[in-house]
Every structure is written in C-alpha cells, then in structure tokens.
Structure 1
Amino acid sequence: MTHDIWIVTCVLLATIIAFVLDRFRLDVVAFVSLLSLLLTGILTPTEATAGFSNSLVLMIAGLFVVGGAILESGVADLAGRWLGRVGGTSTTRLTVTVMLASALLSAFLSSTGTVAVMLPVVLSLCRRAEVAPSKLLIPLAFAASLGGMLTLIGTPPNMVVNQELRDAGLEVFQFFSFAPAGILMLTLGIVFMCTIGTRLLPKQGTGAEDATQFQGFVSRPELIHSYGVGGQIREIRLPHGSTFAGRTLRDLELRTTFHVNVLAVSTPGARGPVVRKCNPDTLLQPGDTLFIKSSNEEATTNLIRQGQMELVASPASLPKEVHLAELIIPPRSEFVGRTVRDIDFFRMYGAMVLALQDRNKPVRTRTSDTPLGPGDTLLVAANASALKRLRKSRNNVLLVSEQEEQRESPLTPAARWVVVILIGMLVAMSTGIVANVTAVLVAAALMVIVGAFRGSNAYQSINWESIVMIASVMPLATALEKTGALDLVVGAIVERPGLTSPRTLLLLLFAVTSLLSQAISNTATSVLIAPLALELSDQLAVSPYPLLMGVALAASTAFSTPVASPINALVTGAGGYRFGDFLKVGVPLQFLILIATLSIVPYLFPFNP
C-alpha cells in the first residue's frame, strides 16, 4: 500500500473508533477527520469543502426545516393523538396501530422527530389500556426505522445512495422506488413484533414497575407519588410580624441557606388568593402563602422558626396555576453530562426541577448537583407559559407526561398551510417536476413565510450536528477513491471467486452496513459503503441498483443495541429496557430483514444491468 493509503486507512479507523466510543460529538469527530485529510495533503481545499455545498447536505437541512414546521404547527401531534381513537385496548391491536402510525410519520419526518411526537401519545395509550410501556416502545422505535425504508426522504441513507447514482451519471431512484421493498420489511416487522417479538419483550415489573410513570396525561397526585416527593412539598404562611416579610426571595437565599425551593407565592386578594410569578425579585408580604419543596425536614423546620412562619399543610395542595410535568433527556441533548445548576434550568425555562430519576430509579443525592444522562427523567413545576417553552424544546428535553388539566389544542393557525406545502413538496418530488433539492428548499422557505415558526426557530430546527457530520464524512469517501484505497478493497473482493456472486455480494454489503449501523451513524455508514457498492457493481458488470438498495435497507436496521440509533436510546429509559432486550428482539428481526432483502431486492431490481 502507498503512503497515502496508509494515512486514509488510519484516519478512517480512528474515525470509526471515535464514533463507536461516543465520547465526543459526531460532528467534531468527523470535522477533525476532515482536517486531518486536508492537512496531510490527501485532499485539496476544494475537495475538503465539497461536502458543505453538496445538494444532498442542502436537501437534508431543508428537510429538517420542513419536519420542524410539521412538529411546531401541531400537525404531527394531531396525527399521533388520532391513535387514541383507534388503538383500542388489545396489545396486538395497539402494536399494529402504533407501528403503522410511526412508520407513516417517519416516511416523511426524521425518525427521531417521529418518536419524539409519538412517545407521549404511546405512553398515554399504555395507561388507558393498562399495557406495560415496555411492550410498545421498542415496536415504536423499530417502526420508525422501518418507516425510513418507504420513501426517498424517509432517512438520509436513502438520499446518500441516490446521490451516489446521480454523481455517477446514472438514473436515480424515484421518490417511491423504496416503497415496494419497504412495505414488505414493515409488514415483516409488524408480524414479527405481534407474534415472536411481544414474547421476547420484557413484561411489566422488569423495568416498568411503577405503572404511573410515563403516561402522557396523568393526575397531579400520580406524578407526585411516582417520584416520591409528596411529603417534601409544604404550604407555609407569613403571619404579620414575620421577619421575612418585606424581603425578596433573592435577599433570603432560601435555596442556599435552607435548601428550600419556592414553587409559588399566593397573596390574599379581594376575589380570592392571587398566585404571583415566582422569581428572585418576588417581594414577600404579610399574609402570603409559600408553597415550598425540600427533602430536608430539619432545614424546613429551621426556616419556619427563623422566619416566624406557620406550617399550613404537609403535603401541600398546590394551586392550579402550578402545573407538574415530566421530562426525558434525549440522547443528543446539550444537557447530557451537565447538572440542573449548570444549565440554570429555572432561568432557561421558568420551571423548577423537583426530582430526578435515572432509568426509573430515584436519585437520592441533591438533584441540582447530579449530572444528567440520556434517558433520565425530571419532574418539574411550571406555569402555563413555561410549559409551552418546554413543549417546543424537543432537542434538549422532551415533555412526556403532564397533568390531565393541561391538554390544549395542538394545531396552530399555520397548520393548514403546512399540510398544503407538504403535499406540494411530495407531489413535486414524486413527479420529478423540479429537482428534489429545489422542491425541499422551496418548501422550507414557504414554511417560514406562512408562519409555521419564526425564522430563528427554523434555524434551530436544523440538526447542525448531523449536517456538519455528513458534510465532513463525504470527503472521506472521496479520499478513499482518490488514493486507491477503495480500488484495493474492490480488488480483494473481486479476486475471491466465492464473493463475486451478485447475491453473495448483496449479502456481504448488507451484513457490513447493518453491523456498522449498530455502532455508528447509519448516515456515515452509507456514505462510506455506497461508493464501495457502486465500484463493485462496475468491476463485476452488475447493476448498481440492487446493491445500493441493499445498502440503504441495511442502514435502517439499527435494532440490536440501545445505542444503535438516537431513537433506541430515547425509548430505553421510558420502557425500562436493558441492553439485552434489544439484542433478543433486534437480532432476529435483522436476520428476517436480511433474508427478505436477498429475496425481494433482486426481483425488484435485477442484477443484470
């Protein structure tokens, strides 16, 4: 091997290892790899930056905006809540309904966005039907992955293999070219989960002991009981003569001095008690009632004694203006590894964190000083405006349960326009009236124009980590081809007669892609494997379409580990799953998809060019 091939190989291996270890952000790892190839002279500046101007990257960015508009406008939420009317109470019927709805949404939305929308809905269905969440959440996640097989925009790997064909000057896949194979895979997935899969999934009591957790819309007592904070919430009054009267909460420093959090302040009024906005500048007056939370009973006693206050009730009856909600930390949240104090959660959202659970186990140490991890859940107290902010913060915190009284209409005034624009984009892409990237970018611009969300929120809806990662990994594939490393791999395969059979080649590509997708991003995997598939098809005079279709399908089979994809990690905590649960259910399903791929893909896309 040449010196350049050694450099590219080392960079590739280092990148894959860093992806697998997952100790650094994916975009940082990919960008450092790109810089390594640029500084070593393997790539020219033009080649190194080509990914950032690639139409595929622009289209994925536009689809993030379109998907964000669908979420912000409430269209996706409305579609999800429709399940409540058709799901029934049978576990089998619920599984079929949830998987069909999840797959349909993920055919047009990102799989992570789909699960973010569906998770609260499914948990609410579990509560109503008295079904363990562990029976439905893995099917939800798997269906979101399978739904990506249905359309061109269902998942980035589909667009990656399509771009590979376009760059080679070949006829590209059409919008619904993936649908025939995708429908078969989805059908297999549903049948498997309703028969064998449901028996392999953990039952209630193996990670979902508390039936009151993760239930969509629940009563206030249920939320308080599930986190065990009922006895920690108290109601105290400032009588005339209290030493705390006439002072602000900032002056009193209740949190640092007495380890007490003030949830609300109620002041007597002519028409009844008035609950005031609680912040550091809130001025306490004689006759005020404070609703406080503290796990230290002695500290609360000292507070009452020093402030010459009166204990009214313990546990307290919180005023209706104080709403309780349950949040889950998504895998790629910026809050992972940080504490509530570091985040300054109250300043950011106006919500007070009452309790924290790590994979369904209460954290006994001080909540504000405990680093947050993926799948951790928070119980918060908030007012109505804070709840709205929390609902929109899907990237960092996902609201999965809130008290029953807080139901609200999910649709915004722009929802009707969002549906029209979405349909127009899909028609344009499926008919080929304009280029796919043009249709997506126009739709993204129109979403902002019609007010689906403000322009700044449109930028926030883009997953920049994914965009930078994809744009940085694409030149790595260029380096493999430029240095001859790709030809070296192709030559090694071609020289082995046992691997040159088209069906064996499809099996090999599927296996490698599927295996890598369990550990690293399926987009990065497809960016690396798609050029190999195309080169092999050229060397062996085999049609590239079945091989590239096999790569795309394999990239959507991230079933076997909780870290195989963000959506698996997202349901792990809510379902109380363990690593082995994904192995037991995921591995058999992957083999089924492999067998189906070897059977149906050559029929739909013959090997003969």
Structure 2
Amino acid sequence: MTTDNWIVTCILVATIIAFLLDRFRLDMVAFVSLLALLLTGILTPAEATDGFSNSLVLMIAGLFVVGGAILESGVADLAGRWLGRLGGTSTIRLTVTVMLTSALLSAFLSSTGTVAVMLPVVLNLCRRAEVSPSKLLIPLAFGASLGGMLTLIGTPPNMVVNQELRDAGLETFQFFSFAPAGIVMLGLGIVFMCTIGTRLLPRQLPGAEGVTRKQGFVSRPELIHSYNVGDQIRKIRIPNGSTFAGRTLRDIGLRTTYHANALAVSTDSNRGPVVRKCNPETLLQPGDTLYIKSSNEDALQKLILDGQMKLVASSATLPKEVHLAELIIPPRSEFVGRTVRDVDFFRVYGAMVLALHDGNQPVTTRTSDTTLGPGDTLLIAANASALKRLSKARNNIVLVSEQEEESDSPLTPTARWVIMILVGMLIALSTGIVANVTAVLVAAALMVLAGAFRGSNVYQSINWESIVMIASVMPLATALEKTGTLDLVVSAIVESPGLTSPRALLLLLFVVTSLLSQAISNTATSVLIAPLALELAEQLGVSPYPLLMGVALAASTAFSTPVASPINALVTGAGGYRFGDFLKVGVPLQLLILLGTLAIVPLLFPFNP
C-alpha cells in the first residue's frame, strides 16, 4: 500500500469510529474528514467541493422541501388519521394498518417525518383500542423503514445507488424499480410482526409512572398523575390587603425567591373568570386566582405568608384555557444536550415545562437544570396558540399527545395545490419526461410559490445536517477510487475463493451494509459501499443491478438497536422500549429480509449482464 492508501484508510476508519461514538454531529464529522482529505492533498479543491454541487444532494434538499410542504399543509396528517381509522381494535389489524400506512407515507416522505406525523395518531389508536403502545410503535418505525424500499425517493440510499449508476454511464433505476422487491420485503415484515414479532415485543411496559408507559395518553388527570405533578399544582387566592396585590410576578420574585412557576392567573369579571397567560410582567390584582407549580413546600408556605395569600387547593385542577401536552425530543434535535433552561420553552414557544421523563423515571424537581436527551418526554402547559407553534417544530420536538381528544388537523388553503404539485412530480419521476433532479427542484419551487410555507419555514424544512453530511462524505468515496484503495479491497474480495459466486457476493454486501447501518447513517453507508459494489460487479463480469439493489435494501434494515436510525430513537421513549427489545425483534427481521433479498433480487435483476 502506498502512503496515499494509508492516509485514506486512516481517515475512513477515523470517520467511521467518530460516527459510531455519536458524540459529535454527523455533519461535523463528515466535514472534518473532508478537510483532512483536502489538507493532505488527496483531493483537489474542486474534487473536495464536488459533493455540494452534486445533483443527488440538490435532489435530496428539494425532497425535504416537498416533504415539508406536505406536512405544513396538513395533507400528511389527514392521510395518517384517515388510514388510522381502518385499524379497528384488533392488535393484528392495527399492526397491519400502522405498518402499511407508515410504509406508504415514507415511500414519498422522509421516514422521520412519517413517524413524527404518525406517532400521535398511533398513540390515539392505542388509547381507543386499549392496546399497549409497545405493541405498535416498533411496527410503526419498522414500517417506515420498509416503506423506504418502495420508490426511488423513499430513502437517500436508493438515490445514492442510482447516482452511482448514472456516474458510471449505465442505465439507471426507474422510479418504481424498487417496488417489486420492496413490496416483498414489506410483506415479509408485516407477516413477521403479526406473528413472531408481536410475541417478542414487551407485553406490559416496565414501570407505570411515565405517561409514555400508559394507555391513557390524552386524559388530563392521567397526564398529571403519570408525571407525578398532581400535588405540585397549587391554586392560590390573592385577597384584598395582600402585600403582592398591584405587583408583578417579577417584582415579588415568584421564580427566583419562592422557586415557583406561574401557570395562569384567573380574574373575575362580569362575564365570568378571565384566564390570562403568565409572564414576568403579569400584574396581580386583589381577587385574582394564581395557579402555580411548586415542589418546595417550605418556599410555598413562605410565599403564602409573605404575600398574605390564601391556599385554595393543594392539588388544583387547571383551568380549561391551560392545555397540557406531551412532547418528545427526537434524535438530532437542536435541544439534545441542552438544559430546559437553555432552551427556554416559554420564550420560544410560550410553553411551561412542568416535568419530564428520561425513560427511567419522572423528573419533577429542578427540571430547568435537567439536560435533554433523545427520546426524553416533556409535560408542558400552554395555550392553544403555543400548541400550534409546537406542532410545527417537528425537527426539534414532536407533539405526541394533548389533554383532549385529538381532532383532525384542518387542511390549509394551499393543500389542493400541494397535492396537485406532488402528483405532477410523481408522474414526472415515474415517466422520466425530465431528469429526476429537475422534477424535484421544480416541485419544490412550486410548493414555495403556492404558499405552502410561511416565512423561513422553507429553510427549516431542510435537514441541513443530512445535506452537509452527504455532500462531505461523497468525496471520501472519490478518494477511495482515486488512490486505488477501492481497487485493493475489490482485488482482495475477488481473489477470495469463497466469494466467486455472485450470490455469495450479494450476501457479503448485504451483511456489511446492514451491519454498518445499525451504527452509522444508512446514507453514509451506501455512499461508501455503492462504489465497492459497482467495482466488484465490473471485476467479476456480473450485472451491477442486483448488487446495488441489495445494498439499497440492506441500508433500510436498521432494525436492531434504538440508535440504528432516528425513527427507532423517536419511538423508544414513547413505547418504553429497552435496548434488548430492538435486538429481539430486529435481528430476526434483518435475517428474514436478508433471505428475501437473496431469493427475490436475482429473479428481478439477473446476475448475467
């Protein structure tokens, strides 16, 4: 091996290790590896920046915009709820419905967006059917992953292998080329989850304290009880003569001195009580009723004594204007690693965090100092407008349950245009009348012009971490080819006596891709493995299509760990799953998809060129 071979190999290994450790942002890891290739002279500046102008990257960015428009317009929510009604009360029927719905949505939306839309729908279905969420949330996540196998745009790895064919000057896959194999894999997944899988899923969730571990997801009393905050919500009357009357919450030091959070103030009027949202400048008047959350009994007694106030109820019921809701922190959220105080939910969204659940137990004291992690659930109090803002912040938080019965989200006035543009894009992609990237970018532009987004929401709909990560990893594959490192790996595999069979080669590529996808991004995995598959096909004189299709299918089998994909982590907290739950269900399903791939892919895409 030459010096350049060693340099590229070291950079590749260091990048994979950094991905595995998951201590740094994926885009930063990929970008640093790109800089390393540039600074060591392995790549020229033009080669190093080629990924940022690649049509694949532009196409993925455009699809984020299209998917964001579908979410913003309410089309995805409506589709999820409409199909969710077909589930009935049977666990098997619910499993089939949930998996089919999530698969169909993820065939055209990102899998993370699909799960974010479907999560509250499935939780509501669980409540109605009295089924434990642990029986349906892993099927929801797995259905979204399997749905990515159905279309060209279902998941980035599909587009990566297609781009590899285009770069090699070969005929590319068509929009529905993935569908025959994908339908078989989805069918295998549904049958497995309805038979063996449902028996492997936890029958009863461990612990019963967190709302994410109960069946009543939208009942206000259960929300309060599940987070153990029932005895911390107090109702205090401010009588005439109170020393706090005529002063603001900031003036009396409600939060700083008495360690209490104000949730609402109710003022009597001729038309009945008027409930006001609290902020530091809220003015207290004689006769007002103050609703607070306090976990410090001594500070509470001091507050009542100093203010000459009256404790009306030590376990109060909040007024109907104060809505309770539950949020989940998704993976890659900007809030991961930050404390509740740092995020400042009240300033950003107008919501007060009452408690949180970290997967082990509720945290009701010193909540503001608690560091947030992926999968953590939060109980918040907010008004109706704040809940609308929260529901639109899917990249950082997912609103999964509210205190009242969920109602269908109304479609926005632009919904019909969104549907028409989407249908037009799908027709263009499936017929090939224009280049795929052209169809997607035109659709994205039309979505914006149609008014599907407001303000800068169009930029927020793009997952920039994924875009930068993909654009930065692609030159690493270029470096492997340029230095001959890829040829060395190919030669070692070709010269191996056990890998002369094309089916054995397909098996090897599937296993390697599937294993790597359990630990690092499936997109990054496919970027690295796809050139290897193409080179091996050329060296052995076999068709590259079955090998690349096998890589694409394997990249969508991130089933075995809660950190294998963002969607697994998203359902972990809501379903109360343990690491072992994914292993018990995911490993057999991966083996089943492997066998299905070995059986069906060579029939659909023969090895003979």
Q: TM-score range by the shorter chain?
A: over 0.9
Q: TM-score, normalised by structure 1?
A: 0.98
CA contact (8 A) 2:209 2:227 kept: no
Q: How does 1:43-122 map to 2 (within 5 A)?
A: 43-122=43-122
Structure 2 CA distance for aligned equivalents of residues 599 and 223 of structure 1: 48
Q: Which residue of 2 aligns with 1:30?
A: 30
Q: How does 1:400-415 map to 2 (within 5 A)?
A: 400-404=400-404, 407=407, 409-415=409-415
Per-residue CA deviations over 1:121-142 (Å, capped at 9, x if unaligned) read 1111111111111111111101
Where structure 1 has 5 or more consecutive residues not aligned to the other structure, the ranges are: none
- Offset at 1:85? 2.1
Q: How does 1:251-290 map to 2 (within 5 A)?
A: 251-290=251-290
- Offset at 1:204? 1.5
- Offset at 1:460? 0.3
Q: Which residue of 2 aligns with 1:183?
A: 183
Q: Which amino acid aligns with 1:506?
A: L
Q: Which residue of 1 aligns with 2:586?
A: 586
Structure 2 CA distance for aligned equivalents of residues 227 and 44 of structure 1: 56
Distance 1:209 1:324, change over 3 A: closer
CA contact (8 A) 2:561 2:579 kept: yes
Q: Which residue of 2 aligns with 1:242?
A: 242
- Offset at 1:268? 1.6
Q: How does 1:303-452 map to 2 (within 5 A)?
A: 303-359=303-359, 361-404=361-404, 407=407, 409-452=409-452
Where structure 2 has 5 or more consecutive residues not aligned to the other structure, the ranges are: none
CA contact (8 A) 1:214 1:401 kept: no
CA contact (8 A) 2:213 2:575 kept: no
Structure 2 CA distance for aligned equivalents of residues 275 and 364 of structure 1: 25
Q: Which residue of 2 aligns with 1:533?
A: 533
Please report the RMSD computed on the Cα atoms of aligned residues, expressed in angstroms. 1.3
Q: Which amino acid aligns with 2:228?
A: G
CA contact (8 A) 1:360 1:573 kept: no
Per-residue CA deviations over 1:265-323 (Å, capped at 9, x if unaligned) read 11121211111231111111111110111111221111011001111222222111111
Q: Which amino acid aligns with 1:501?
A: S
Distance 1:454 1:469, change over 3 A: same
- Offset at 1:326? 0.5
- Offset at 1:413? 1.2
- Offset at 1:205? 3.3
Structure 2 CA distance for aligned equivalents of residues 577 and 213 of structure 1: 9
CA contact (8 A) 1:216 1:400 kept: no
CA contact (8 A) 1:216 1:402 kept: no
- Offset at 1:384? 0.9
Q: Which amino acid aligns with 1:345?
A: F
Q: Which residue of 1 aligns with 2:605?
A: 605
- Offset at 1:527? 0.1
CA contact (8 A) 1:470 1:523 kept: yes
Distance 1:208 1:117, change over 3 A: farther
The residue matched to 1:154 in structure 2 has which SS? Answer: coil
CA contact (8 A) 2:264 2:276 kept: yes
Per-residue CA deviations over 1:123-177 (Å, capped at 9, x if unaligned) read 1111111111111111110110000000000000000000000000000000000
1:39 corresponds to 2:39:
yes
Q: Which amino acid aligns with 1:7?
A: I
Q: How does 1:445-460 map to 2 (within 5 A)?
A: 445-460=445-460
Q: Which residue of 2 aligns with 1:502?
A: 502
CA contact (8 A) 1:448 1:455 kept: no
Please, which moves more after superposition, 358-367 or 592-601? 358-367
- Offset at 1:231? 1.1
Q: Which amino acid aligns with 1:275?
A: V
Q: Which residue of 2 aligns with 1:576?
A: 576
Q: Which amino acid aligns with 2:278?
A: C
Distance 1:98 1:502, change over 3 A: same
Q: Which amino acid aligns with 1:151?
A: T
**Equivalent pairs: percent with the same residue?**
86
Structure 1 CA distance for aligned equivalents of residues 431 and 523 of structure 2: 26
- Offset at 1:83? 3.5
Q: Which amino acid aligns with 2:320?
A: K
- Offset at 1:405? 5.6
- Offset at 1:408? 5.6
CA contact (8 A) 2:211 2:223 kept: no
The residue matched to 1:172 in structure 2 has which SS? Answer: coil
1:14 corresponds to 2:14:
yes
CA contact (8 A) 2:149 2:553 kept: yes
CA contact (8 A) 1:88 1:129 kept: yes
Q: Which amino acid aligns with 1:594?
A: L
- Offset at 1:182? 0.1
Q: Which residue of 2 aligns with 1:147?
A: 147
Per-residue CA deviations over 1:190-224 (Å, capped at 9, x if unaligned) read 00000000111111233567677576861211211
